Structure 1
Amino acid sequence: MSSKALSKVIIVESPSKAKNLSQYLKGYVVLASGGHVRDLPAKQGSVDPENFSFTWQVIDKAQKALEAIKKAAKDTEVLVLATDLDREGEAIAWHILQCLQESGTLKSSVTVQRVVFNAVTKETVLEALKHPREIDQSLVQAYLARLGLDYLVGFTLSPILWRKLPGSRSAGRVQSVALRIVVEREEEILKFKSQEYWTIRGLFEISDLKKNVQAQLVVFQGNKLDKFAITGQDQALEWKAFLETLQFHISKIEQKPVQRQPAPPFITATLQQEASYRLGFSPAQTMQIAQKLYEGIDIHGEIKGLITYMRTDSLYLVPEFVTQARAYIQNRFGDQYLVPKARSYKTQKHSQEAHEAIRPTDLSLSLEDLQRILEPNQWRLYKLIWDRTLASQMANALYQQTSLTFLGSDDQTVLRASGSVLKFDGFLVLYEEVQDDDQEKEENSALPAGLEEGQKALLQEVTPHQHFTQPPGRFSEASLVKKLEELGIGRPGTWARILQVLQERGYVRKEKKRLIPEELGFVVTAFLKKFFAQYVDQNFTSHMEQELDQISEGQLEWTQVLQEFWGSFKQAVDSAKDLRIAEVLEAIEEEILSVYVPDRTCPKCSEGVLGLRLGKAGPFVGCNSYPECNYISGLQTLGGEDSVLGVHPESGNTVELKNGPFGPYVACDGKRVSIAALEPGSEVTLPKALWLLGLPWNLGQGPEGEVVLGIGRFGPYVQYKGKFYSVKKKGQDLVDFSLQEALDLIQQSQEKQAKGGGRRFSKSGTKTSDSDTEASKKPTAKKVVRKTAVRKTAVTTKSKKTTKKTS
C-alpha cells in the first residue's frame, strides 16, 4: 500500500462503525481499535498511592488491532482519533496516542486530530471532520481519577472482605453503594408492619338520567376523613348502616380543563427504564441493541447510523433536528398537533459533556422499510426512541376533569366522584409513558353527561372495602437505575455494568424482574456499613461523582482528589486489617439477625440462642448449645418449616402456613388452600391467609350471571355461566383481582375460542380445549357458595419466599 493511500488514518472504536465510515471517507484509511487498548493489570501495585502513577499493559484481545494501527500510523500524514465522545472515548484516544508515541511509531511531523460526532451519518461525520481539536486532557484526567479510585477501592477492600468474610467476592466504589440500596429496601420490606384501613363507596342512580355513578365517602358527620379514619370492619358496617338512612342530591359540580405535557426525549437512564417496562429488556440488553443502532445498520446497501449516541444524560436536541421533527408532525398529523413554539428541556444538574438526547438521526427514512430490515428487537427499540422523540415536540393532551359532590340529608356527610374525558389527544396519538409497577395507577373514568346541581341521587348500594398498607416494592433493574440517577451515583455508561456485577458476584438475584439481595449481599453490606460507613454512603459517593465532573471541566486537580480520598480510606483499611472473623461476626450479628431472626430462641432445643455463623456456602445461623444441639439453618430458610400466622377472627383457631408435597398452603379448621393465588416469593401474612381460606369469592354480577374467583387443582380460576377460565397473573397477587379484570379475561378467552385456540378448565376440573368444553357433560364439581360478607383485600407484601418465611 502506497504512502499516498495512507495520507490520512482515522481510528474509531468498533469494526461496524469503521465499515460505516469507510463508505464515504474515501481519502482515509479507517481502522477500529475494538475499544480500550490498554488497562491496569489486575494485580496489586498497578496504581501507586504514593504518587498515583499507573502501570499499563496492552489488553490481549487488542494486540492485533493495535499493531494494525501502528503499521498504518508509520506512513500517515494525518492521524484522526474519532473514538466516542464521552470520557471513555477520550481515554481510548489518549491511550492509542500514548502507545504510538511510546513505541516511536508516530513521526513528529504527523498532525494528530481529535474528532467527535454523536451520530454515525455521512453529514454529521463530514461536518465533524471540519472541526478537529486536541485531546481534552481534563476529560482524560477525570477518567484517570475514576479508574484510580475504583482500583484503590477494589484492590484494597476486596482482600479485606475475602479474609474477614469467607465466601465474599469483591467490593466496589459504586457497586457496594448500589448493593446497599437494594439491601436496605429489602430490610424495609421485611420489617414492614401492615396497617388495616377501610374505605366506603356508594353507587348512586341519578334519578333524571337513570345513570349510575360510583363515589367515595370523604366527609362523615362533618368530619373530613383521612386514610385511617375507618380502622375496622365493625366501624365500616356501622357507618354503612348510617349512610343507608340518608337521602342524597348533587350539591356541587366542578369542571376544569387539564393539560398534560409530553415526556422529554430519552437519555440513557430513561431509555433503560422504558425499554424495561415496555419491552422487557434488561439495561445491558438495551445498551447492546442501542449500540448497534448507533454504529450503523445496512439499509439498502448503505450502512447508516439510526440513532445518536446512547450514553448521555443531556436532553438537548439540535435545532436542525427540531425543525425536521416539526415539519414531520405538521405533515403527518396536522397543525393542531404541532406545539406553537419548539420545546426545549432543561438538562439535569448531573449532566456531563454537551451531548444530545437519544434520537433518530434521520426522520426521512421509511418506517415501513426499517421494520422489514431491522431485527425484531432492534425495530422495537428504534420505534420506541422514534415515538418518544417526536412526541416530545407535539402539542399537549387536553382533558376535561369533572368533580361531583353528593351531599347527604344530614348536610354533614359527603361522597365524591371524579372523572376525566380526553378532549384532544395531542402527543398521546404517538406516545404515552408507562408507569412502574410500584406507582399507583390512576382511575380515569368518565362521568355521565347531563348532570346538574340539585339533582336527586338514589343511593343504591353501599360497599365497604378493606385495605392494608403496602410495603415499598423491590427494585427492578429499571427502577434501581432510576434511583441511582436521582442520587447522582454512577454515570450513563456504568449503570448496566453495575447491575451485571451485583448478580455475577452472587450478591443479588433477579426473580420476576425484581432484585432480591442474597444472604451474602446482606452480610457484605452490614460489614461495609460497620467498618467502611463513609465509603458506602450515598451522599459521599454522589459527592465523589460531582468532583469527577469538576475534574472533567478543569475545575479540580485529579491527583488532589485521589490524595484526599486515599488518606482517610487507608486509615479505615488499616483499622480493619487486624479484625478476627469472630469479631466481625459479633459486630454485624445484631443488624443481620434483627432482620432475619427477631426471635433468637433455638426452635429445636428451646434453650439455646441462635447466632450468626460463616461457612463455605455463605452465612447461616446455628444454636450456641452446640454440640448438645446441632440446629443450623440458612438465613433465608428459617421460615421453611410450618409456622403459625395467627388466629382466625371467627373460629378462634390457629391459621398455619404449611409445606406439602405440591408446595406451600395455608390451613385452618380442616381447610387447606394452596398459596398459588399469591405473588411468588411474597410473604404470606394473616390477612392474605384469611383471604385464601375465604375462597371462592363472588366478584360481582356480570352481564349474564355471577362471576366467582376460586382456586382448584390447576390453580386460580374464574367461574362464569357454569364455565371455568384459568387465571394467569404472573408475579402478582390475586387478592385485588377485580370484576372488570375477570370480565376482560372471559372476553379474551371467548375471542380466542372463536379463533379455535386457547385452553380452559372444563366443568369436571380437567384441562380441555375450548371446543371440548362446549361439549362437556354436566359439572360434577361442588357448588360455589356465594359470599355475602364484605370482600377482604390484602396488600401484596413483597418478602422472601413463603417457604422461607421468618417465623
Structure 2
Amino acid sequence: MSTLLIVESPAKAKKMREYFPTFKILATLGHIKDLPVDTMGVEPPHHKPQWQTIHGKGKVVKDITDAAKKATIIYVATDLDREGEAIAGHVVNELGNTHKTKISRITFDEISKKALEIAIANKRQINWALVRAQEARRVLDRYVGYLITRELNAKFKSLGINHFFTGGRVQSVVLRLIVERHLAIQAFKPVEHFGVTATLKHAGISFTATWVNGLPPGQLMTDRARAEMIEKRTKALIVDAVNQKPKQISPPVPLTSSAFVQLMATKLKLTTKQSMAAAQKLFEAGLITYHRTDSPNISKDFIEQIRAFARGKQLPLPLQAPFHKAKDSAQQAHECIRVTDINLLVLGPEIDDKIMRDVYSWIWKVTLESQLSAGEDILTTVQFHNEAMDFFKTNATRMKTAGWRNAAEKCIPITSLSTSEDEEEEPPVSLPDLKIGERIACESVKLDVKYTEPPLVYTEKSLVKELDRLGIGRPSTYATIIERIVTLDYVTRHKTLKFTPTPKGIAVIHLLKNYFSFMEYLYTADIEESFDKIASRKADYLPVISHAHDALLQEIEKFRAAAIPDQVKALISQFANDQSASKTPEKTSTKKTATQTTAKPASNKSPTTGTVKVGDKCPECQKGTMVLRTINSGKNQGKEFKGCTSFPTCRFFSWAQGSNA
C-alpha cells in the first residue's frame, strides 16, 4: 500500500517527510490553475471560468498525475482556507474519475505528526461549496480588473497619457481609503481652543489638574477671554471629591491575521508582506499554526498545555480559560495564530533569520498572555474647585495586581522581545494622599492654547485595522493588495510605514469613485458576505456573479459617456511632469539638493520651502502635525502655508507650493 500526500509548499513537504518517511509527498507550489493571462477567460451568461495550467506548472501537474497512478491512497492536504480548497479542487479535477475513490481531503492547523494523524482520521471529500466561493471571488475580480483597467486606460489615453493604469475590485477601494484620508488632511482647518492647567505640589509629589469647562463632550472651548479669566483667578485648589474604582486590564486576545500584522507593524515595524512571509516560514517549519485566520480560538488541548506551563512558572491563571468569539464574517472555525509548543520559548541560532526569531517571540508572548489572569488597576479621580467655584480634575492610575502583565518577560530574555525604538509608553502618574477640603496652593497656572488635530495618515497598522473593520478583503489578501498599490505607484509607503497617495493614485480615484458601485465600502463588505453565503450553501454562484456582472456593464456605459473632470486633468498633468522630471536625473538631483538645504527651518523659525508635506510630523518639534493654513492679513494675505499644529509653542512653517513669498 503506497500513500501520496499532496501539499502546497516544498518546505511543508520537507517537514512532513520527517514525520512520514514512507509517504510520497509532493508540492503544488501554490495554484496549478488560473484564468488565462491574455484573455478574459470567462463570459456570460454562464460565467464558467476557463481554467488553464499556469505557465511553468506543467511538470508539477505531470509529477502529481504520475505519482497518483502508483498510489493506493491519495491525501490532498493543501491549506485549509478557501484558496487551499480551490487548489485541492483543481488537483482532484486534474486527476479525474480514475483516481476518485482513492482521494481524500485532509486539513490541519499545524504541521506536526499528531496534527496529520488527526487529519487523516477525519478525512473528508472536497467541499465544493468552498471551491465555488473562491471561484466567485476570482471571476468577479477578473471581470472588474479586466474591464475597469481597459476603461481607465482609454480615458487616460484620450489625455495623451500612455502610462499603464489598472483598477481592481479590492485594490481600488483600498486606494480610495488612502486618497480620501489624504484629501481630508489637506482640507483640514485647525480650530483654536483653550484650556487651563494648574500645577500643584503636595507631600513632595507634583501633579497637574485641568479645568473642567462644563461644555458637552466633543464641544470645544473657543472663548479665550473666559479661559484667561479662569487662569488669572486660580491661585489655589480645594479638594472636592476623591473617587477610586477598579479597572480590569484584560489580557490580549489570541492573534487573528489582522491583529498579527497590526502587532508586527507596531512592535517590529514590519510591512504586512514581511509579517506574513515570516509567518509562512514559521508555519512551514512547524513552529506556529496556520497564519491566515479570522479566528481567535485555541484548541482545548493546547489551552491545557499553556495552563500547565503557567502553573510550572507560577504565573497567574483564571479559574476558567477565557473564551473569545470569532466575528460573524470569520470564514471557518480555524485556530488563532499561536505557537505549536509553548515550552519552546525562543528560537535558537539554528534559525538564522532575525525577523523570524522576533516574530516567533511575539507570537509566543501573546499565546501565553492570552490565557493568563486579567490585571487590575485602581483609577483615581480627584475633583477640585478654586475660590470662584471653577472646577478642575486630575486622574491617576496605579497597578493593584499585575495579572498577565510582564509574565512573558519573566520567562524569556527581554532582548527576545525586540520592539521599535520610537514606540512610546505613557509614564505612570502618581498622586499624593488627598483629603476632601484640603487647600493646595498652585505652583503655576497656565493658559493652554490648543489646536484640533487633522485625521491621522494611514499607516500599515491603521490601514489593516480599517480594512478589517469594514470587511474589505480577507487576511490572505491584505499583503497582496497593499503591495500592489505601492508597486503601481498609486501610493508611497514611507519608512515610517505611512501611506500617502501619488497624483496618479488620486486621479484614478477621482475618475472611478462616482461611477462604480464596487468603489463603495459597503459594496465590498456585502459582496464578501455573498461569497460567504456561497461557501455555506445559502446562495448559488451563478445569480451572485450574474447580478454583479450586469451592474458593472451598466456602470461602464455611464463611465464612458462621462467627461473627464478638470481636477483629474490637473493631476495627470502633474503626473506627466513628474514622469518627465524623473528622466532628467541631473536637473532633478540639483533641484533636490537645493530643496534639502532649505527644508530645515532656521533658528528664528523663518519660513521655508521644501519637502515637508501636509500630514507629516513637524520636523522641528516632532510632536505637532503639518496642516495647510492661509495668511489672513498683511502683504502675504491669502497665501497658503504649512504650519505646525503645536503653534504657538512651535512656530515652524513652510510655504505651500506656488505660494513662495
TM-score class normalised by the smaller sequence: 0.7 to 0.9
1:319 and 2:300 equivalent? yes
**Cα gap change, 1:613/1:135 in structure 2, threshold over 3 Å: closer, same or farther?**
closer
Cα gap change, 1:523/1:805 in structure 2, threshold over 3 Å: closer, same or farther?
Answer: same
**Structure 2 contact 453–625 (Cα < 8 Å) conserved:** no
Q: Give me the whole-angstrom Cα distance separating, in 1, the residues matched to 2:659 and 2:460.
A: 26
- Tell whether 2:17 aligns with 1:22: yes
Q: Is contact 1:613–1:619 with CA below 8 Å preserved after alignment?
A: no
Number of aligned pairs? 617
CA drift of 1:374 comes to 5.3
> Which residue of 84, 98, 118 corresponds with 2:109?
118
Q: State the match for 1:738 in structure 2.
A: none
Deviation at 1:110, TM superposition (A): 4.7
Aligned to 2:641: none
Of 180, 186, 192, 1:190 maps to 186
Q: Residues of 1 paired with 2:187 and 2:131: CA distance? A: 45
TM-score by length of 1: 0.71
Task: Specify whether residues 682 and 371 from structure 1 end up closer, same or farther in structure 2 by C-alpha distance, changes over 3 A only.
Answer: farther
Find out whether 1:663 has 2:598 as its counterpart: yes
2:606 pairs with 672, 680, 691, which one?
672
Question: 1:662 is matched by which residue type in structure 2?
Answer: T
Conserved 8 A contact 1:682-1:796: no
Tell me the SS of whatever aligns to 1:71: helix
Provide the C-alpha distance between the structure 2 equivalents of 1:280 and 1:162, rounded to a whole number of angstroms.
Answer: 35
**Secondary structure of residue in 2 paired with 1:197:** strand
Structure 2 counterpart of 1:555, from 517, 538, 546? 538
Q: Deviations over 1:751-789 (max 9, x none)?
A: xxxxxxxxxxxxxxxxxxxxxxxxxxxxxxxxxxxxxxx
1:468–1:794 Cα contact (<8 Å) kept: no
- The gaps in structure 2 that reach 5 residues or longer are 410-416, 583-587, 589-593, 627-645
Aligned to 1:406, what secondary structure does the other structure show?
strand
Q: Are 1:149 and 2:140 counterparts?
A: yes
8 Å CA contact 1:197–1:227 kept in 2: the answer is no
Give per-residue Cα distances to partners, 1:716-758, cap 9 Å, x unaligned. Answer: 6xxxxxxxxxx9x6xx6599xxxxxxxxxxxxxxxxxxxxxxx
Counterpart residue number, 2:212: 218
- What is the percent sequence identity of the aligned residues? 28
**C-alpha displacement at 1:147, in angstroms?**
0.6
Q: Residues 467 and 9 from structure 1, CA distance in 2 versus in 1: closer, same or farther, beyond 3 angstroms?
A: same
Secondary structure (helix, strand or coil) at the match of 2:175 reads helix
What are structure 1's unaligned runs of at least 5 residues? 297-304, 593-610, 621-631, 635-639, 641-658, 689-714, 717-726, 736-789
Pairs within 5 Å for 1:782-793: 792-793=648-649
Higher mean C-alpha displacement, 153-162 vs 40-49: 40-49
CA distance, structure 2, for counterparts of residue 733 and residue 488 of structure 1: 32
Q: CA deviation at 1:441?
A: 7.5
2:437 matched residue in structure 1: 454
Match of 2:398 in 1: 421
Q: How does 1:576-725 map to 2 (within 5 A)?
A: 576-577=559-560, 579=561, 584-585=563-564, 588-589=565-566, 612=570, 614=572, 617-618=575-576, 662-664=597-599, 672=606, 680-682=612-614
Given the superposition, is the C-alpha separation of residues 169 and 121 from structure 1 closer, same or farther in structure 2, using an over 3 Å criterion? Answer: same
**Residues in 1 aligned to 2:655 and 2:16: alpha-carbon distance in whole angstroms:** 56
Residues 1:257 and 1:523: Cα distance change in structure 2 (over 3 Å): same
Question: Are residues 1:228 and 2:186 paired?
Answer: no
Residue 387 of structure 1 aligns with which residue?
365
Deviations 1:144-195 (A, max 9, x none): 1001100011111111101102435211011111111111111110110001
Q: 1:545 to 1:618 in 2, by over 3 A?
A: farther
The reply on whether 1:36 has 2:31 as its aligned counterpart is: yes
Equivalent position of 1:353 in the other structure: 332
Partner AA of 1:358 in structure 2: I
CA–CA distance in 2 between the matches of 1:435 and 1:472?
Answer: 26
Give the aligned partner of residue 525 of structure 1: 509
Q: Residues 195 and 617 from structure 1, CA distance in 2 versus in 1: closer, same or farther, beyond 3 angstroms?
A: closer
Name the amino acid aligned to 2:211: L
CA-to-partner distance for each residue in 1:460-481, whole Å, 9 max, x for gaps?
2112222110011111122111
**For residue 653 of structure 1, what is the aligned residue in structure 2?**
none
**Alpha carbons 2:111, 2:289 under 8 Å: kept:** yes
CA drift of 1:574 comes to: 3.0
Q: Any idea what the Cα deviations from partners look like across 1:516-536, whole Å, max 9, x if unmatched?
A: 11111111111111322x120
Is the 8 Å Cα contact of residues 527 and 584 (structure 1) preserved in structure 2? no
Q: How does 1:39-78 map to 2 (within 5 A)?
A: 39-78=34-73
Which residue number corresponds to residue 291 of structure 2? Answer: 310
Aligned amino acid, residue 291 of structure 1: Q
Q: Would the alpha carbon gap of residues 440 and 795 (structure 1) be closer, same or farther in structure 2, given more than 3 Å must change?
A: farther
Q: Deviation per CA, 1:401-455, whole angstroms, max 9, x where unpaired?
A: 1112222223x1122111011111111114699999999986641212x322222
Report matched runs for 1:197-216 at 5 Å: 197-206=193-202, 209-216=203-210
- Over aligned residues, Cα RMSD in angstroms? 3.4
Larger Rg: 1
Shift of 1:43: 2.4
1:545 aligns with 2:522: no
Q: Is the 8 A contact 2:266 2:423 kept in 1?
A: no
Q: Which residue of the other structure, out of 314, 317, 340, is the alignment partner of 1:333?
A: 314
3-state secondary structure, aligned to 1:252: strand
Residue 806 of structure 1 and its aligned partner are, at CA, apart by: 7.5
Greater helix content: 2
Structure 2 counterpart SS, 1:30: strand
- Structure 2 equivalent of residue 242 of structure 1: 233
The SS at the match of 2:404 is helix
After TM superposition, the structure 1 = structure 2 runs for residues 157-168 of structure 1, keeping only pairs within 5 Å, are 157-165=148-156, 166=161, 167-168=163-164
| Structure 2 Cα separation of the partners of residues 44 and 379 of structure 1 | 43
Amino acid at match of 1:67: K
Amino acid at match of 1:96: V
Q: 1:554 to 1:272 in 2, by over 3 A?
A: same
Residues 400 and 421 in structure 1, CA contact (< 8 A), matched pair in contact too: yes
- The structure showing larger relative contact order (alpha-carbon pairs under 8 Å, at least 6 residues apart) is 2
Mapped to 1, the partners of 2:105 and 2:402 lie a distance apart of: 46
- Counterparts of 1:724-803 in structure 2, within 5 Å, are 733=624, 792-793=648-649
Deviates more, 1:283-292 or 1:563-572: 563-572
CA contact (8 A) 1:204 1:459 kept: yes
> What is the one-letter code of the residue matched to 1:132?
K
- For 1:148, give the aligned amino acid: V
TM-score (norm 2): 0.86
Seen in structure 2, the aligned counterparts of structure 1 residues 51 and 328 have a Cα distance that, compared at 3 Å, is same
**How much has 1:77 moved relative to structure 2?**
1.2
The one-letter amino acid of 1:111's match is K
Deviation at 1:380, TM superposition (A): 0.7
Matched, 1:288 2:277: yes
Give the whole-Å Cα distance in 1 for the aligned partners of 2:282 and 2:616. 45
Separation (CA, whole Å) in 1 of partners of 2:324 and 2:651: 38
| Residue 399 of structure 1, aligned match among 358, 361, 377 | 377
CA distance in structure 1 between the partners assigned to 2:28 and 2:312 by the alignment: 43
Higher strand share: 1
- Tell me which residue corresponds to 1:772: none
Contact 1:683 1:805 in 2 (8 A): no
Aligned CA distance change for structure 1 residues 369 and 524 (closer, same or farther; 3 Å) = closer
Distance 2:115 2:651 in 1: 53
Equivalent-residue separation in structure 2 for 1:613 and 1:368 (angstroms): 51
Q: C-alpha displacement at 1:344, in angstroms? A: 0.9
1:28 partner letter: F
Contact in 1 for aligned 2:185/2:615 (Cα 8 Å): no
SS of alignment partner, residue 501 of structure 1: helix
Deviation, 1:51, is: 1.5
- Aligned 8 A contact 1:465 1:793 in 2: no
Cα offset, 1:793, TM superposition: 3.6
Please say if 1:274 is aligned against 2:263: yes
Judged with a 3 Å threshold, the aligned counterparts in structure 2 of structure 1 residues 671 and 420 are, in CA distance, closer, same or farther, namely closer
Partner Cα separation in structure 2 for residue 228 and residue 434 of structure 1: 40
Please state how far the C-alpha of 1:341 moved relative to its aligned partner. 1.0
